[in-house]
Amino acid sequence: MLILRRNEHYRFQAMQAFVTVVEAGSFSAAARRIGVGQPAISKTIAQLEERLQVRLLVRSTHSLAPTDAGVRFYERARSAIREAEEAELEARGAGAGLSGRLRVSAATTFARLLIVPRLPQFLARHPDIEIDVLLDDRVIDLVSEGVDLALRMGELADSAAIARRIARGRRSVLATPDYLARAGMPLAPADLAMHEAIVYSQLGASWTFRRNGTEASVAVRGRVRLSAAEGIRAAVLADIGLTVNSDWMFAPELESGAVWRVLEDWELPPVDLWAVFPTGRFASAKARAFADYVESILAQ
């Protein structure tokens, strides 16, 4: 039989107090947030440090900051508190009325073209949710950045990541009509060797095509090499050359005809979109709902 001791309750309260102090930046600000007196907060933190036998905060006349041990404790305590809050929401069946702040990480161009314009519909469904969207092409640490959900394309670098595939996109050879009018229309993959290629650093300068069980690889050449999708878009739209990229990255231009697909009877390896959740904790109801929403809009 499990018996909850009183000091377990006080331990959780102390964790909440410490997290609030770190986030508020002072004892007085934390006391105002919690609704208690400043001496009570100071006493709670002192007792916490005494129990742990470690200094968690460095105090000065005008400010305080967590020590190295304090930073580690803060990260763990914040995660535990969020887990408890999510558990309560799940138990109450709060999935139909999600609330609170959701932090999402996504590649800049992908989010700008396909996610941000669709946010109004998600926000209308869940009026009590606030969304922070971190636009960054880098693979960031979800736990240290406090991210609930990352949308990542391609192969996952971390095989231990908690992730599920939510979409599979088409890759194509893409170019503007003006470039093709100037350089000619390639009719086979080998023809690409004679074209000016805009190379996406993440994919390299060797492109492999398949058709009816036949595989053809071509090493392309080009004077422009870029590390971000936004640069690839700008170079293509400036009629510099052709490129291989996901159709997602040129969705508006493909729809309007400003960019054409080339060699459509040949296939390139598709690109997967993954919903990645922080390792070491359950995916929140908010994060799962947003991943489901992105999956639904990309399936249209």
**Is the pLDDT confidence value at 1 over 50?**
no
Greater pLDDT, 83 or 30: 30
pLDDT at 112: 94
Share of the chain above pLDDT 70, in %: 89
CA distance 13 to 175: 59
Confidence band (pLDDT; 50, 70, 90) for 275? very high
pLDDT at 160: 55
pLDDT at 278: 82
pLDDT at 4: 39
- Residues facing residue 58 across a β-bridge: 65
Instruction: List, for residues 218-250, the tens digit of each pLDDT value.
Output: 999 989 999 888 999 999 999 999 999 999 999
**Is the pLDDT confidence value at 101 over 80?**
yes
Give the lowest-confidence range in 98-112, 120-134, 153-167: 153-167
**Is the pLDDT confidence value at 52 over 80?**
yes
Find the mean pLDDT for residues 15-25: 85
pLDDT at 16: 86
Burial 18-45 (b: 16+ CB within 10 A, else e): bbbbbebeebeebbeebeeeeeebbebb
**Is the pLDDT confidence value at 217 over 50?**
yes
> CA angle 106-111-113, nearest 5°?
160
